[in-house]
Amino acid sequence: SVSDDDEYECVSVLNSHSQDVKKVLWHPHKEILASASYDDTIKLYKEDGDDWCCFASLQSHGSTVWSIAFDHFGKRLASCSDDKTIKIWKEYLPGSSEGIITKRVDPAWKCVCTLSGFHHRTVYDISWCPISELIVTAGGDDAIRLFQEENSSDSNAPQFNLVATASKAHSQDVNSVAWNAKEGGLLASCSDDGTVKLWKVDYM
């Protein structure tokens, strides 16, 4: 069992953030870790020999970043914040056609879209459906919102539209939302009101 001290060990301590870390998340296919913090930044880490190092610090939110979500391909990241916005970040590899400057061999991540004016209070969680590509958010205003990318949008300046809102999804703050990885449109949410709810979205 994992409770035996011999079964596990701490292999690294990453203290890049200057304040509380609210969320950690692994990249869907690469050995990359992302974290979100009260210090308003998102940091990305990769393995560097024997240890891990922070290769990018994403700064754009005006307040605590509560959560992050990668898209299905791991090329984009969505973040949500106490500043009531959602931001979409895109990965630019070294030598990319857009001429984005990168540090040596590491990719650079830039904020390519900000969704504001939709949430009335802190946004606590965000999830990106691998099947439908819909983005769902959990709000401190008791609401759950769905965003869908505009088909025609330019990948360097994508546009997302609010396609649905459940304004009283719960009777208190919605703390977390998660898409089911196998069944498209199936979503779970949980709240300070003590309930867990399952939702089915018609996304065709």
Partner 1 sequence: MAPTPGLENANPLIFEKLEDRTFTGDDYNELVTDVIDSREVFDLIRKIYDPEHPLTLEQLNVVEESRVTVNDAENEVVIEFTPTIPHCSMATLIGLAIRVKLLRALPPRFKVDVCITPGTHASEDAVNKQLADKERVAAALENPYLLEVINQCLHSKS
Q: Which CB, 149 or 173, lies closer to partner 1?
A: 173
Q: Give how many residues touch partner 1 by CB under 8 A.
A: 15
Listed ranges 68-76, 110-118, 129-137, 168-176: which one lies at the site for partner 1 (CB under 8 A): 168-176
| 166 vs 186, beta carbon nearer partner 1 | 166
81 binds partner 1 (CB under 8 A): no
Query: Which position among 122, 132, 137, 189 is part of the footprint of partner 1 (CB under 8 A)?
Result: 122
To partner 1, the closest distance from the beta carbon of 60 in angstroms equals 17
User: What is the Cα 21 distance to its own chain's centre?
Assistant: 14
Mapped to the 3 state alphabet, what secondary structure does 83-119 carry? CCCEEEEEEECCCCCCCCCCCCCCCEEEEEEEECCCC
Residue 182 has what DSSP assignment?
S
One-letter-per-residue 3-state SS of 32-65? EEEEEECCCEEEEEEEECCEEEEEEEEECCCCCE
> Of 173, 179, 170, whose CA–CA distance to 197 is shortest?
170
Q: Which of the residues 41 through 60 are near partner 1 (CB under 8 A)?
A: none
Residues that bind partner 1 (CB under 8 A): 20, 22, 38, 63-64, 82, 121-122, 140-141, 171-173, 192-193
